[in-house]
Amino acid sequence: MISKSKAEKRIKELRDLTEYYAKKYYDDDAPEISDFEYDMLMNELKSLEKEFPELVTKDSLTQKVGGTVKEGFNKVEHEVPLQSLQDVFSIEEVEDFDVRMKKLAYDNKKTVSYTVETKIDGLSVSLEYKNGIFVRGATRGNGQIGEDITNNLKTIKTIPQKLTQPIDIIVRGEVFIGKEEFEKLNEEREILEEPLFANARNAAAGSLRQLDSTITAKRPLDIFIFNVQKCDSKQFKSHHESLEFLAKLGFKVIPVRAYCKNIKEVIEQINKIGEQREDLTFGIDGAVVKIDDLAFREILGSTTKVPRWAIAYKYPPEKKETKLKDIICQVGRTGAITPMAILEPVKVAGSTISKTTLHNEDFIKEKDLKIGDTVIIQKAGDVIPEVVEVVKEKRTGEEIEFSMPEFCPVCGAPAIREEGEAVRRCINIECSAVLQRSIVHFVSKDGMDIIGMGYSIINQLIDNGLIKDISDIYKLTLEEIASLKKNGQKFASNLIEAIENSKNNDLSKLIAALGIRHVGGKSAKVLAKKYKTMNKLMNASYEELSFMEDIGEITADSIRAFFMQEQNRELIEKLKKYGVNMKYIEDETADDRFFGKTFVLTGALEKYTRDEASNIIEKFGGKTTSSVSKKTDYVLAGEDAGSKLTKAQSLGIKVISEQEFDEMIKI
């Protein structure tokens, strides 16, 4: 038995850890550990607090729901709290729950029956309808207060804007991204060199908690409704009856659900969901067991955090032993060289696994992996297979050390690992493995802005052998493009015109389009203005570049590495030959009124999105950053401005309203 002093120390450690990981999960939508690992920490904390109840405090995550209100959103107080669920990890705990329910049912002259549902891996929201019209939606937040995300929720096609009956009702649902849609979303982000989402749940949460609803509209969000929170005009006897009513109103109700007369049927349903979860089109992180009788629920009530009438059974990750036969390297569309484990095929959680990612060389060193090792693998988050550990006692001495290649396995160009990064990358822009991503970026709005040259057209051009490198864009003919579409003459004519127009872009657009690591639109403008021509930039020294404002040592190193590659210099020559502008276009009407000034934006602006306000500031020579410091000149504060406003006031930095900003940008 652990002593009270040791328990107190461990409880503090666990609270700090769970608070940190909960913030990364709920608030930042960027988890750092698996759900299972987090659940185990919480379970240990609950056990210690149960053993030493005098050490329980109100601020422990065992006593409250995780999540806060994000700066920029209006707060919504939930009429009915959106509580969490008590997690259990074994069938024995499910049976213990049934024993408790039966005892309380006997005491209150009730009978026990249940509904069992899938626990959707997404973001919980409430939807409010007045007279059958959708009027407001909010995140769970801390259970009592959430974020008003009505405009974002209106972009989800499966949320009805008008119900089949003119009724006042508040319902609860889970917003999610399906398995296939999540894979496609990450593929597109990889092509555009955007950070990949860690899992579908955080992709859904990050998409839904955008201050700009146009971003949310581009994400493949869906929803399942699973509860009536409040409906004064309609009374229900059971939970399954309420779900049937929600379906009649036009809601997309949680599809995997079953009414169970007893605990035997509950366990059968839990096992059935466990067997079928691989085949579901959406991710789940458990099965929810609920008392079906709503009057009995009222008697049972809730704690400050969870209802007493429900539990969430969490499926344990299945682990299997297999052999690591080989490690091969694949080159992704971003040039990232990723080691892949080739395994002896083994069935895990319903899927046959024969290969999985090993992420990077640090992961291989950390796990001490060698070719020929016996390893244990599991399905992380029920989706991605991962190597957990090496079974070192099974080593024979014939295992082979692995080292990452110093040259790209596809094109032979140097594979560079930059300081502060975990991956090696091929730096050849014309590497065939990188081609598709390079072209998508080159023609994008932030690059050469060739309107009409979308993802599917680029794929067709590559598949038909019409584009083998970026410069081939400028060799395309009207007939070649028209052949890609039925009656494609008009489309081809417009695309040829857009390609021709792009030749006249400023040098800064071309620099940004080349996809040099760490060089975005802002840096490209700085470089174009400083060097005036592509030739001078190509021959700029590392020392020159590293001392420039907004460039620095890492970016300077990346620029030099890019232009030292013969393939990249050849590409520039080809583009020049096809008439692409290589010079900085002086803007005689340029207005640098914000030159040297740094702005921070905080709170919700009425007239502008943050991107629009940032673009205006940059247009006038200024720049924006995300954090307030002594170097900040102005803080543009909208409604519900939070900690950034407080910090600006404490540092004596000038805070301006949206109206004052309008006055500053008047021409």
182-204: per-residue pLDDT in tens?
Answer: 888 877 776 666 667 767 888 88
d(CA 33, CA 68): 20
* pLDDT exceeds 90 at position 596: no
* CATH number among 3.40.50.10190, 3.40.50.360, 3.40.50.460, 3.30.300.30, domain 598-664: 3.40.50.10190
* pLDDT exceeds 90 at position 359: no
Span 578-583, average pLDDT: 95
Band of pLDDT at residue 299, cut at 50, 70 and 90: very high
* pLDDT exceeds 50 at position 382: no
Span 576-602, average pLDDT: 84
Label the pairing between strands 654-656 and 123-130. Answer: unpaired
Q: Which pLDDT tens digit goes with each residue over 387-439?
A: 989 999 999 999 999 999 999 988 888 888 877 778 888 878 667 777 887 88
Order of strands, edge to edge, in the sheet holding 634-637? 623-625, 598-602, 634-637, 654-656
Average pLDDT over the chain, rounded to an integer:
86
DSSP class of 25: I
Q: Which pLDDT tens digit goes with each residue over 552-563?
A: 788 888 899 889
Q: SS3 for 144-205, per residue?
A: CEEEECHHHHCCCCCCCCECCCCCCEEEEEEEECCHHHHHHHHHHHHHCCCCCCCCHHHHHH
Q: Could you tell me how many residues make up the chain? A: 667
Is 119 part of the annotated catalytic residue set? yes
What pLDDT is attached to residue 26?
59
What pLDDT is attached to residue 369?
95
Active-site residue among 70, 119, 290, 314? 119
- Architecture of domain 319-394 in CATH? Beta Barrel (2.40)
Helix, strand, or coil (residue 542): helix
Q: How far apart are the first and last CA of the chain?
A: 75
Span 355-366, average pLDDT: 88
Helix, strand, or coil (residue 365): helix
- Single out the residue of 113, 427, 425 nearest to residue 290, CA to CA: 113
| Global model pTM greater than 0.75 | no
What pLDDT is attached to residue 192?
66
* CATH number among 1.10.260.40, 3.90.420.10, 1.10.150.20, 3.40.50.450, domain 427-577: 1.10.150.20
Q: Please name every residue paired with 309 in a beta bridge, in sequence order, or none if there are none.
A: none
Q: Which carries the bigger pLDDT value, residue 434 or residue 648?
A: 648
Span 66-76, average pLDDT: 63
* pLDDT exceeds 60 at position 350: no
Q: Which pLDDT tens digit goes with each residue over 40-63?
A: 777 788 788 777 877 777 667 676
Question: In this structure, which topology does domain 4-55 adopt according to CATH?
Answer: Helix Hairpins (1.10.287)
Alpha helices by DSSP H, listed for 469-565, are 478-482, 489-502, 507-513, 521-531, 534-538, 542-546, 552-564
Span 323-328, average pLDDT: 94
Query: Domain map of the chain by residue range?
Result: 4-55, 75-313, 319-394, 427-577, 598-664
Token representation of residue 513? 């389009």
* pLDDT exceeds 90 at position 343: yes
Classify residue 371 by burial, with Cβ atoms within 10 Å: 0-12, 13-18, 19+. middle
Highest averaged pLDDT of the listed ranges 34-38, 120-124, 194-198:
120-124
* CATH superfamily membership of 75-313: DNA ligase/mRNA capping enzyme (3.30.470.30)
Contact residues for 347 (Cβ-Cβ < 8 A; gap 6+)? 320, 353
d(CA 86, CA 100): 14
* pLDDT exceeds 60 at position 70: no
Label the pairing between strands 374-380 and 86-88. Answer: unpaired
Alpha helices by DSSP H, listed for 403-482, are 435-443, 455-463, 478-482
Phi, psi at residue 383, to the nearest 5°?
Answer: -125, -55
The fraction of the chain above a pLDDT of 70, given in percent, is 91
Band of pLDDT at residue 69, cut at 50, 70 and 90: very low
Helix, strand, or coil (residue 16): helix
